[in-house]
Each structure stands twice: as C-alpha cells, then as structure tokens.
C-alpha cells in the first residue's frame, strides 16, 4: 500500500473526509468536484480541522503541513493519470453516478480500481456501463470519515476478488476496519439505519412527540450517541431521501416508503446541516 495514488471525485462532506483521512495515512491524493468552490471549501475545512488537531496536541505543525501537501486540487478527473484507486463521492443519484463511472472507465485503464462511496445504489448497476466492470466496487465510508472506523466494502456481481482484496487492504491502510457485504439495496448499514430515521420522521410528522423528545428517547433510551433527527440533519436530508427511494424501489415493499415530511423538506431545500436548516437550525 506504499505510494498509493488516490483520486477522490466529489469534494462534499464525504469526499473531503476521505481525502483528509487518506492523506493523513500517507496516500497521495487528488481531489476534484464539478463545482470548483466545493474543492476550495473542502480544503479550508481540512485546514481548520487539522489546525484544531495541532492546537490540541494530536498533530505537529510539520505533520499538518505534510498532510496538506499530499492533497492536490484538480479541475477534472481527466487531469490526472496513473491512479491506483479512484473513490467517487458525488451526489446520491444513480443516473449521475452511472455517467461519471462511464467517463472514469474511459479515462483510466485496467490498472485503476473504481470505487463508489454510495450509501445504497447498486454497485453492479453503477459498474454496468464502465469499460472494466470487474474493477468496480463499493467503498462505503461513514460520516465523519476521519472519526468513524467502518468501511462497508460492497462487491458487485462482477467484482473480481483481487479487487476486493486490494480495497480491503487500502481501507486498512487508511486506518479503517473493512467489512465485506454483498450488493443489496442499502447494503447492511443503511438497510437497518435509514428505516429507523424514516420512522422517526413519520413520528414527528404525526405529532407523536417533538423533535427534541424523539431524539432524547433514542439517545437516553437506546444509548444512541445522536438522536435520529439530528443524525438525519448530519447525513443530509437529500441523501436520506435518495436512500429511502432506493430501498423502496429495490425491495418493492411499502415499509420503505419515504416519509412525506422528508420529501417536503428536501423540496424546500431544507437539507440539514449542510444547508443551515433541517430538523434543527445551524449557523453556516
Ligand atoms: P455532498 O452533497 O456533501 O457532496 C456531493 C458533492 O458532489 C458536491 O460537492 C457536488 O458538487 C459534487 N458533485 C455532484 N455531481 C458531480 C459530478 N458529476 N462530478 C463531480 N462532482 C460532483 O454529499 P455527501 O454527503 O458528501 O455524499 C456523497 C456520497 O457519499 C453520496 O453517494 C452519499 O450517499 C454517500 N455517503 C454519504 C454519507 C453522509 O452521511 N452524508 C455517509 C456515507 C456515504
């Protein structure tokens, strides 16, 4: 895993976290986004987080400088070559991901592994139109990436076992614990987590309790570190809605229907922490 060259496509909250984590562990990282201001925002966010780590003695100023020097902003994925591993962390929309993977497959040769950080979309479908579908895999990091230890590694129908092994080793080299799962809607993590969040939104919508009461029940009653509505804001309500749609379509089962309140909030642009307002209000 030495001198690994990593490209991260999508510099939102997950892409920024993946880039920072990999660079901290010695990967050489390139970061791109179709909105250039997102890359700048990601870089200043990393700078701020690493500065806090220096202030609290977790890092030295030299280490901070070295980490940041390993992260390179590039205008497009096509601006780089000889990449070992490319991790896509763009918007959770199947058609957009399929298009991006087709382009990545055309640009990179058979030596590059293409991984998606998708929360729920079928890896086999994302892989289908790429040049080397056997080199496509899911690498599902948890939020916030620098803190959370799990990476759900998702094998598509055509993924070669050597690709899986490489990605499991890469996740470990990033300081994470990889767990291998198969390609089913929501994989394991979001098949279990997201219906709980959706049910909390239904409970709020039906007036069963206030947002604070719902979150407190799950925090103090179930020992969850964060209530489900706070967690939904943290994940992003657009991402939560997309995952519920994937589960609903994938299993054709009404128990996965998205709560109308979730859809209404997304329609209104209330996306949670990243937009400044979701179930709670946040200073931007
Ligand atoms: P985000 O909304 O913070 O960031 C997405 C980024 O992708 C934006 O900067 C956007 O400009 C960029 N983008 C959109 N289309 C693009 C394209 N065609 N080419 C390049 N960049 C493009 O979203 P977030 O939360 O970072 O999620 C990204 C992915 O990670 C999604 O697939 C999501 O399901 C997954 N994920 C999200 C988690 C969360 O808690 N938010 C947890 C685990 C996975």
Q: Which residues are catalytic?
A: 119, 140, 152, 190
pTM: predicted TM-score of the whole model, two decimal places: 0.93
Q: Which residues contact 266 (CB under 8 A, 6 or more apart)?
A: 237, 238, 241
- At 115, is the pLDDT very low, low, confident or very high (cuts 50, 70, 90)? very high
pLDDT tier, 2 (very low <50, low <70, confident <90, very high otherwise): confident
pLDDT at position 48 over 80: yes
pLDDT category of residue 1 using cuts at 50, 70 and 90: confident
Instruction: State the CB neighbour count (10 A cutoff) for residue 53.
Output: 17
Alpha carbons 204 and 217: distance in angstroms, whole number? 13
DSSP-derived pairing of the beta strands 113-116 and 85-88 = parallel
Whether complex ipTM tops 0.95:
yes
CB 98 near ligand 1, within 6 Å: no
pLDDT given at position 3: 81
Question: With a 6 A CB cut-off, is 71 part of the ligand 1 pocket?
Answer: no
Mean predicted confidence (pLDDT) in 213-241: 98
Q: Which of 174, 183, 179, 176 is nearest to 84 (CA)?
A: 174
Average of pLDDT values for 10-15? 97
Do 198 and 186 meet the contact criterion of CB atoms below 8 Å apart? Answer: no
Residue 34 pLDDT grade (very low, low, confident, very high; cuts 50, 70, 90):
very high
Hey, what are 228's tokens?
Answer: 């489900």
Beta bridge partners of 114: 86, 136
| Mean pLDDT on 170-186 | 97
Q: How far apart are CA 148 and CA 20, in angstroms?
A: 13
Give, for ligand 1, the residue of 34, 188, 239 to mutate: max count of ligand atoms closer than 8 Å to Cβ: 239
Measure the CA–CA gap between 89 and 92, rounded to whole angstroms.
8
Of 2-6, 213-217, 266-270, the poorest mean pLDDT is in 2-6
What number does the ligand 1 atom closest to the CA of 93 have? 32
Average pLDDT, rounded, for the chain: 97
């Amino acid at each position: 895993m030495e001198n690994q060259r990593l490209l991260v496509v999508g510099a939102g909250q997950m892409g920024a976290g993946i880039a920072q984590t990999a660079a901290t562990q010695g990967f050489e990282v390139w970061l791109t986004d179709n909105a250039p201001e997102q890359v700048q925002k990601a870089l200043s966010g990393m700078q701020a987080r690493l500065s806090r780590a220096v202030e609290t003695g977790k890092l030295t100023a030299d280490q901070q400088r070295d980490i940041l020097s390993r992260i390179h902003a590039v205008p497009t994925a096509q601006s780089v070559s000889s990449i070992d591993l490319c991790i896509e962390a763009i918007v959770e929309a199947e058609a957009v991901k399929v298009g991006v993977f087709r382009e990545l497959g055309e640009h990179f040769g058979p030596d590059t592994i293409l991984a998606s950080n998708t929360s729920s979309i079928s890896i086999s479908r994302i892989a289908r139109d790429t040049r080397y579908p056997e080199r496509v895999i899911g690498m599902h990091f948890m939020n916030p990436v620098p803190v959370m230890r799990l990476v759900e590694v998702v094998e598509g129908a055509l993924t070669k076992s050597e690709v899986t092994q490489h990605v499991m080793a890469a996740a470990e080299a990033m300081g994470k614990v990889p767990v291998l799962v198969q390609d089913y809607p929501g994989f394991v993590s979001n098949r279990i987590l997201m219906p709980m969040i959706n049910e909390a939104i239904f409970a709020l919508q039906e007036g069963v309790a206030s947002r604070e009461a719902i979150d407190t029940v799950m925090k103090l009653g179930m020992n969850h570190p964060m209530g489900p509505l706070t967690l939904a804001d943290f994940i992003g309500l657009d991402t939560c809605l997309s995952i519920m749609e994937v589960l609903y379509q994938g299993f054709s089962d009404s128990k996965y229907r998205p709560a109308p309140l979730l859809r209404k909030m997304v329609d209104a642009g209330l996306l949670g922490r990243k937009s400044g307002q979701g179930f709670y209000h946040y200073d931007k």
